């Protein structure tokens, strides 16, 4: 007979797994050896706040890329699209390769005082409030992408699902946008969070649906990995209802947590510099394959979790176990060995 205490312990562990991964545990379709035989179809983001380092990484792997995504255009409070000219000019500076250049559009709002409201659901609701507004927004998106001379458009509208109406108006927007993009000769990518209501969304077949396989831990939590094996398996299961083609977005770098300050994202190179400065040796976490270390500065304790090429390559294998070979890397810049990512 199972002891009552053991039952309670098992129940609590189950709750913890659910809380950390967002759904019940799932198993992959392919073995690791089978997954490793699949050829990767890679794409990557370059971000406007780190153009020099992002450009440097992009030039090293441009001949292997299927897509290079310029991140990002965003909005003013009245819904006007704005984008850095330096970002749009990047495509002309990285010529090697047959990849498609995409303009990413994110629902961040830049206010008059230069503060930024990140992932603002209100601006999306405003832009898609009715058919006329939706069509106006689509026209502006297509025009900006064509004017920039790019071959594709990416939509990255996050934090919108608390508004239940988004389950209806977002798929309608994607369907109409895809029709317009095709007519304009543009490819279309749609980025979705791992918590998106996949089964409720009736999304049109045609665009590439890119699901974020990260943020398991981060600025919203205590120390831990951006992703681990079970989180990846569970996300694969959750997104299974999406139409093809599907892609997985994986995040390099990591996060640093302090006992006296808010956590911050750091690049792999920044994590390595801190490691050397404080003479600490990282360990590799079994469940995530992330590198982990702790150091002290006076009375302040710092915890660092980050991904190197071995981490990313293992995550790629776990994703491929779900039959997905299209991999998008967030983001270029600050990677120690970008060519080593397979």
User: Across the beta sheet with 264-266, what order do the strands follow?
Assistant: 264-266, 253-258, 300-307, 291-297, 283-284
DSSP 118-145: TT-HHHHHHHTSSHHHHHHHHHHHHHHH
129: alpha, beta or left? (left if phi > 0; alpha if psi -120 to 50)? alpha
User: What CATH number has the domain spanning 28-251+307-340?
Assistant: 3.20.20.80
Is the predicted pLDDT of residue 277 greater than 60, yes or no? yes
Helix axis angle, 4-21 to 229-238, nearest 10°? 70
Confidence at residue 130, expressed as pLDDT on a 0 to 100 scale: 97
Q: Mean pLDDT, to the nearest integer, of 73-79?
A: 97
Is the predicted pLDDT of residue 328 greater than 80, yes or no? yes
Is the predicted pLDDT of residue 341 greater than 60, yes or no? yes
- 98: its two tokens: 């047959």
The dihedral over CA atoms of 202, 130, 159, 138, expressed in degrees to the nearest 10, equals 80
Is the predicted pLDDT of residue 7 greater than 80, yes or no? no
Q: Which tens digits make up the pLDDT trace of 216-234?
A: 999 999 999 999 999 999 9
Q: Which tens digits make up the pLDDT trace of 170-229?
A: 999 999 999 999 999 999 999 999 999 999 999 999 999 999 999 999 999 999 999 999
Is the predicted pLDDT of residue 334 greater than 60, yes or no? yes
β-pair type (152-156, 116-117): unpaired
Spatial CB neighbours of 140, under 8 Å, sequence gap ≥ 6: 81
Confidence at residue 21, expressed as pLDDT on a 0 to 100 scale: 42
Query: Considering just the CA atoms, what is the radius of gyration of the chain in Å?
Result: 21
291 forms beta bridges with 284, 306
DSSP 255-279: EEEESSS--EEE-HHHHHHHHHHTT
- 334: its two tokens: 């600050």
Instruction: Name the band, by pLDDT with cuts 50, 70 and 90, for residue 96.
Output: confident
Phi and psi at 143, nearest 5°, equal -65, -45
Confidence at residue 146, expressed as pLDDT on a 0 to 100 scale: 97
CB 47 within 8 A of CB 84: no
Distance between CA atoms of residues 323 and 337, nearest Å:
26
Q: Mean pLDDT, to the nearest integer, of 136-158?
A: 97
Instruction: Name the band, by pLDDT with cuts 50, 70 and 90, for residue 23.
Output: very low
202: alpha, beta or left? (left if phi > 0; alpha if psi -120 to 50)? beta
Phi and psi at 73, nearest 5°, equal -80, 150
Confidence at residue 134, expressed as pLDDT on a 0 to 100 scale: 98
Confidence at residue 93, expressed as pLDDT on a 0 to 100 scale: 84
Q: Residue 200 gets which letter from DSSP? A: G
Instruction: Name the band, by pLDDT with cuts 50, 70 and 90, for residue 20.
Output: very low
Kindly state the percentage of the chain with pLDDT values over 90: 88
Phi and psi at 123, nearest 5°, equal -70, -35
Is the predicted pLDDT of residue 11 greater than 70, yes or no? no
Confidence at residue 25, expressed as pLDDT on a 0 to 100 scale: 56
Q: Could you state, in order of their start, the residue ranges of all structural domains in the chain?
A: 28-251+307-340
Q: Mean pLDDT, to the nearest integer, of 19-39?
A: 75
CA distances from 163 to 129, 177, 196, 220, 281 (A): 12, 21, 12, 21, 45
Q: Residue 292 gets which letter from DSSP? A: E
What is the average pLDDT score of the chain?
92
Q: Which tens digits make up the pLDDT trace of 250-260?
A: 999 999 999 99
pTM listed for this prediction: 0.91
Instruction: Name the band, by pLDDT with cuts 50, 70 and 90, for residue 6.
Output: very low
Is the predicted pLDDT of residue 112 greater than 90, yes or no? no
């Amino acid at each position: 007979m199972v002891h009552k205490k053991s039952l309670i312990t098992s129940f609590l562990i189950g709750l913890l797994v659910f809380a950390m991964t967002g759904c019940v545990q799932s198993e992959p379709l392919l073995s690791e050896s089978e997954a490793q035989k699949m050829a990767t179809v890679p794409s990557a983001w370059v971000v406007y706040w780190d153009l020099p380092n992002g450009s440097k990484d992009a030039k090293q792997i441009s001949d292997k890329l299927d897509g290079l995504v310029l991140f990002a255009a965003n909005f003013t409070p009245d819904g006007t699209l704005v984008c850095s000219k330096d970002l749009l000019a990047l495509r002309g500076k990285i010529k090697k390769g047959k990849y498609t250049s995409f303009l990413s559009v994110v629902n961040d709002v830049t206010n008059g005082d230069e503060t930024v409201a990140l992932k603002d659901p209100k601006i999306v609701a405003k832009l898609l409030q009715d058919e006329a507004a939706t069509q106006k927004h689509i026209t502006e998106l297509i025009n900006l992408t064509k004017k920039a001379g790019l071959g594709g458009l990416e939509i990255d509208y996050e934090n919108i699902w608390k508004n239940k109406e988004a389950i209806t108006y977002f798929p309608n927007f994607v369907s109409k946008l895809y029709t317009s993009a095709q007519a304009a000769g543009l490819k279309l990518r749609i980025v979705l969070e791992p918590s998106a209501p996949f089964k409720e969304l009736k999304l049109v077949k045609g665009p590439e649906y890119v699901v974020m396989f990260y943020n398991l831990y981060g600025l919203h939590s205590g120390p831990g990995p951006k992703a681990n094996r079970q989180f990846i398996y569970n996300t694969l299961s959750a997104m299974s209802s999406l139409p093809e083609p599907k892609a997985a977005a994986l995040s390099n770098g990591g996060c640093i947590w302090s006992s006296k300050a808010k956590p911050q994202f750091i690049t792999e190179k920044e994590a390595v510099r801190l490691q050397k400065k404080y003479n600490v040796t990282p360990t590799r976490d079994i469940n995530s394959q992330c590198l982990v270390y702790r150091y002290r500065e006076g009375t302040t304790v710092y915890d660092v979790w980050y991904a190197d090429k071995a981490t990313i390559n293992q995550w790629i294998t776990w994703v491929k176990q779900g039959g997905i070979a299209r991999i998008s890397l967030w983001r270029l810049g600050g990677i120690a060995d970008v060519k080593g990512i397979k």
